[in-house]
Amino acid sequence: MKRTALSILWLLIPTLTLAQTYSNANLNGKYSFQFATPAYDTWFKTFACPTNSSVTFTATGSTTTSMVTYGIATFNGSGNVNFNATNNGKLNATASATTMSVTWNSSCQVTSVNSGHVVYMPTSNQTGTGTYSVHSNGTGTLTITGGKGSLTLQLAATDGAGISNTVMLISTQANGSSIGAGIAVHQ
């Protein structure tokens, strides 16, 4: 038993002594990224009875989707980042509402409701800037300029020059829970 414990200890010592200390310099260069955020989208429309406009009914439609952002981010190794991104999957509530319909009877009671279907905004492109800070344990924060939120970073691997190959991205914007996740890979 002693021999097994000593063998395991000898195997762990090199791992413990080689633990890497991280900094902003480990995040340097161009990274392709993809980030997805789950969304519960709703749309609604109020309908008036054709024979008595004072009687109305509001129909609601909903779906669970995922908004996806992907692109290239360039980190400067000193805490600043620029990015070009493409956004997909943002709800167009007005267009979704136009797909809805309600059927009335002669007494102005609703007999059927068609909640319609989701319609998305066209794909959009954006450019932006931000700042980032990497802690010695490889975790960190990326904040997008203009109040568009922040992401938690986790550097997952580095190359021989100490540049991170892979970065995990997490958004924690809803009651402390992660509501989005993504990955960035060094180019």
As a whole number, mean pLDDT of residues 19-35 equals 92
Q: What is the pLDDT of residue 95?
A: 97
Residue 116 — left, alpha, or beta (φ > 0 → left; ψ -120 to 50 → alpha)? left
Residue 10 placed within a domain: no
pLDDT tens-digit map of 82-121: 999 999 999 999 999 999 999 999 999 999 999 999 999 9
CA distance 121 to 90: 6
- Could you give the number of structural domains in the chain? 1
In three-state secondary structure terms, 63 is strand
* CA distances to 110, 123, 181 from 70, in Å: 44, 11, 12
pLDDT tens-digit map of 29-71: 999 999 998 888 999 999 999 999 999 999 999 999 889 999 9
Q: What is the pLDDT of residue 159?
A: 85
Q: What is the pLDDT of residue 15?
A: 43
* CA distances to 63, 118, 166 from 58, in Å: 17, 17, 48
CA distance 17 to 184: 28
Residue 59 placed within a domain: yes
Residue 132 tokens, joined: 């980032």
Q: pLDDT-derived band of residue 174, with 50, 70 and 90 as boundaries?
A: low
Residue 48 placed within a domain: yes
Domain range for 112: 22-186
DSSP β-bridge partners for residue 113 = 102
pLDDT tens-digit map of 114-159: 999 999 999 999 999 999 999 999 999 999 887 667 889 999 878 8
Q: What is the pLDDT of residue 5?
A: 44
Residue 175 has pLDDT above 70, yes or no: no
Tracing tokens 């609703």 back to the chain, one arrives at 110
Residue 13 placed within a domain: no
